[in-house]
Amino acid sequence: MSDDTRTELDQALDAARETSAQANFFYDAFLNTPMFFPALRADKKSGDWEQLKATERFFPLYLTHGEARAIPVFDSIEKMKTWAGEKAFNYLVLQANLLMKVIAPEIALVLNEGTAHRYLFTPEILNRLRLAMKPVLPS
């Protein structure tokens, strides 16, 4: 992927891979990025790249990662379509920080599967991010 087509999240991941001191900037960028993820309607009709509403009943697509289940998430619809190839999915778009609140604690997220900017958010990493997101109340 050329430099001019890299997303802000791609750039943040590249920086974190070069210097571990940039990791927090990557995680912050992730939390503030809308995530596209493939989903199946509750009626299980095949997908046609329609964006589902968060109020609709749906089932996210799960991948197997080791012994855990992971949801593939993408920071652009183009990356998701490239990954899907000939298969068409419906999808949802949620801010990453909101997505993390609605998935079970044992589920992982695979960011940008099939790209050079793939990153696995293990359940442990996601739980640490959830703890860091807790609001701090003034005393």
The two three-digit tokens of residue 129, written as one number: 């991010």
Provide the pairing of β-strand 34-41 with 58-60: antiparallel
Task: Report the pLDDT averaged over residues 16-36.
Answer: 94
If DSSP codes are grouped into helix, strand and coil, which group holds residue 83? Answer: helix
Distance CA 110, CA 125 (A): 12
Task: Report the pLDDT averaged over residues 10-16.
Answer: 95
pLDDT digits (tens, 9 = 90+) for 71-129: 999 999 999 999 999 999 999 999 999 999 889 999 999 999 999 999 999 999 999 99
Residue given tokens 């998701």 in the structure block: 80
Distance CA 86, CA 128 (A): 36
| Backbone φ, ψ for residue 95 (5° rounding) | -55, 140
Identity of the residue numbered 43: D
User: Domains along the chain?
Assistant: 34-133 (3.40.1350)
Q: Rounded to the nearest 5 degrees, what angle is found at the Cα of 44, between the Cα atoms of 38 and 48?
A: 50
Give the per-residue pLDDT at 125: 94
- Give the dihedral sign, CA 113/41/53/96: negative
Q: Indicate yes or no: pTM above 0.95.
A: no
